[in-house]
Amino acid sequence: MADVILGIQWGDEGKGKIVDNLASKFEYVVRYQGGNNAGHTIVVDGKTYTLHLLPSGILYKNCKNVLANGVVIDLGELDMEMNQFEESFDSKGDIAEKSPLVGRLFISNKAHIILPYHILLDNANEKNRTKAIGTTGKGIGPAYADKISRCGIQIGDLYRLESLRSKIKANLDSISSRLPNNNLNLDSIMAELSGFAARFKPFITDTTLLLWDAQKQGKKILLEGAQGSMLDIDHGTYPFVTSSTTSIAGALSGTGLNTSDIGEVIGVAKAYCTRVGNGEFPTELLENELGEKLQEKGHEFGATTGRPRRCGWLDLVALRHAVRLNGCTKLALMKIDVLDNFEYINACVKYRYHNEEIEYVPDDLDVDPIYKEFVGWAGSVRGIRKFDDLPPEAQNYINFIEDFVGCKIAYISTSPEREDLIAR
């Protein structure tokens, strides 16, 4: 069976640590959507690794890592990220046989490529919007738009150079009016892609068949989501969302697996809320001392962009919504240690919407939060690895969350370190 780990807030929930912690128990770790707009930060023995495209299982030599068909890939960024884990290249730049990633990393031939014009379009689109979305500017949205418009470039196209040239020329002609004086050159793009074709050839395969075969053999597969459910293109706070399906549906369409292949669905949430970019955020502590305290203590700056994250109290209404949306069977609650030494802690349990109290997520999320207040705890929970060793106030907070959303909190993170995780 394939288990799924996905974010159930606005991204940046700490999924990387959970995947990293569990990856040693799996034989395959799979990224199934998003691109290098994601950033998973993992701390191992005091050393920090930030992964944007590579699955978190890359830190375990026993894991096979898959970039599946639902991912959009900036090949230059992937090249640099892979270099951290490789030993050497031959004089032509082709991957050396002794590279530790050969046989450990597999890239879908159906994944779409982010090209230079996607990045230019992304930034131009942001500049021209009345209200910016707050994208990372990495070209993710335009690459997915081309995919839906059926003019995208797939990884497999790298090995059909004549038709690839024709497709890219058509795309450059199409966008010339939107990007005048863009300095994009067909020959330069083709030369770069030709080099990438040689670079990545040992890694490219039909990953759907690979995963089907792994399922047939009874291999343990972990599907790793990027961003969070409240940024889902269909179910998030549209239009301030990402460009992929971040909910459980993306795990299926982005891999070729089906519902009968799925086992556990582990939703990951912080003990409070953060959001990067624009869009509604009901529990945000805007220009507030407590919000600044959360940001500072939680080191809430984007792993991909470095942008400060907006911070606020935990939104339990949105969390319960995401648990239902994804069919979560377990939860992981991250960064409980950030709430150390708060005199009180709030959690949103209802919304005020058009002068009415509601307990569901409306389509526009233009709401005012209604809070339940909890007594905070003195001292630090940092590094605690048993639930019973947590302060009673922390236990009460966690138990209330579990009861409210109707899903067991199976993992509780008490520090950024890999091993500081309570398993219940």
Binding-site residues for GTP sit at 11-17, 39-41, 309, 335-337, 413-415
Strand segments (E) across 36-191 = 40-44, 47-51, 64-67, 72-73, 105-108, 112-113
Q: How far apart are alpha carbons 123 and 138 in whole angstroms?
A: 8
SS3 401: helix
SS3 17: helix
Instruction: Output the known binding site.
Output: 11-17, 37-41, 136, 150, 227, 242, 303-309, 335-337, 413-415
Residue 339 tokens, joined: 């709430």
Under DSSP, the state recorded for 31 is: E
CA distances from 74 to 69, 139, 193, 311 (A): 14, 9, 11, 30
Residue 230 tokens, joined: 């409240």
Q: How far apart are alpha carbons 17 and 15 in whole angstroms?
A: 6
Among residues 3, 20, 40, 235, the one annotated as catalytic is 40
Instruction: Output the known binding site for Mg(2+).
Output: 12, 39
Q: How far apart are alpha carbons 384 and 394 in whole angstroms?
A: 12
The answer to whether the CB of 108 falls within 8 A of the CB of 67 is: yes
**Among 166, 172, 158, which residue's Cα sits nearest to residue 120?**
172
The answer to whether the bond into 239 is cis (omega within 30° of 0) is yes
Residue 147 bears catalytic tag: yes
Among residues 52, 138, 147, 270, the one annotated as catalytic is 147
Compute φ and ψ for 161, nearest 5 degrees.
-60, -35
Residue 366 bears catalytic tag: no
Among residues 3, 12, 232, 315, the one annotated as catalytic is 12
**Among 308, 263, 318, which residue's Cα sits nearest to residue 285?**
308
Pairing status of strand 2-7 against strand 262-270: parallel
- Sheet harboring 421-423: ordered strands across? 204-205, 105-108, 64-67, 28-31, 221-228, 2-7, 262-270, 330-334, 409-413, 421-423
Helices 186-200 and 161-175, axial angle in degrees (round to 10) = 140
The answer to whether the CB of 32 falls within 8 A of the CB of 293 is: no
Instruction: Output the known binding site for IMP.
Output: 12-15, 37-40, 136, 150, 227, 242, 307
The answer to whether the CB of 273 falls within 8 A of the CB of 9 is: yes
Residue 321 bears catalytic tag: no
Q: Which amino acid belongs to residue 332?
A: A
Instruction: Output the known binding site for substrate.
Output: 303-309
CA distances from 245 to 35, 234, 299, 337 (A): 12, 7, 27, 30
The set of catalytic residues is: 12, 40, 147
